[in-house]
Amino acid sequence: MLSKSQLKLITSLRQKKYRTKEKLFIAEGIKVVNEFLNSEMKPHKIFCTTDFSHSLSEDTFQLISNEELKKISLLKTPNQVLGLFEIPEEKVIVKAGLTLVLDSISDPGNLGTIIRLSDWFGIRQIICSETTVDCYNPKVVMSTMGSLKRVNVRYTDLEEYIKSTKLPVYAAMMNGENVYETKLINEAILVMGNEANGISKEMLDLITNQIAIPRFGDVQETESLNVASATAILLSEFKRA
């Protein structure tokens, strides 16, 4: 059975301040949990029903009922397992290759999708502003579908980071140069801005290349693309370079 202290801990980890304090995060679902179990991520405790097939040691997993899983899950239909994993130590920022920079991304689903896209396109590093949603938010973790284990996500002062690099800085802007007519390079930084406000004023002066995804529809009334969708298109173009 779940103890009151376990229930309290799991519930508290939905908030960033407690994830930071306990150095733990929540992962849910068979695929996501198995991805982390088959990686360098260290499991703290795995709560699972009898339907979850595993080879964990008895001190690592705890059998719970379907009703108990419903109490601790964020999913409408819980998927057999919920795991608590240790938040890993931060990795060193690599100042080479193509790096994705996120300026105040606020939606957990968008960040999770962007992490998954980065994994798909071979981007091993994402640098986030300190105002970007926490990558260990349970909704972000679920959206990554396990890609979080392969992509280094770091939070830092973006101005200081950009100023410390000699790489060209590309940014997705509505009035930028048509990306399909732009010569792109793989040793660069690509900045994606906030869903509602775009790239912050502080960052604009640091941008060396503004690029845009053109609209092709006959009725061009759509104001903008979803940031995750735009990221997918731009990463694809950079990888074609």
Whether 46 and 103 map to the same domain: the answer is no
Mean pLDDT per block of 10 residues along the chain (241 residues) reads 94 97 96 92 93 82 93 91 95 90 97 98 96 97 94 96 94 93 95 94 94 80 83 95 74
- Contact call for residues 72 and 47 (beta carbons, < 8 A): yes
Q: Give the phi and the psi of residue 66 in degrees, each rounded to 5.
A: -60, -35
The answer to whether residue 91 is domain-embedded is: no
**pLDDT, tens digit (0-9, with 9 covering 90-100), for 84-96:** 999 999 988 988 8
Instruction: Give the span between the Cα atoms of 8 and 115, in whole angstroms.
Output: 29
Whether 23 and 70 map to the same domain: the answer is yes
The answer to whether residue 134 is domain-embedded is: yes
CATH number for 120: 3.40.1280.10
Predicted local distance difference test score (pLDDT) of residue 216: 84
**pLDDT, tens digit (0-9, with 9 covering 90-100), for 51-70:** 887 778 888 899 999 999 99
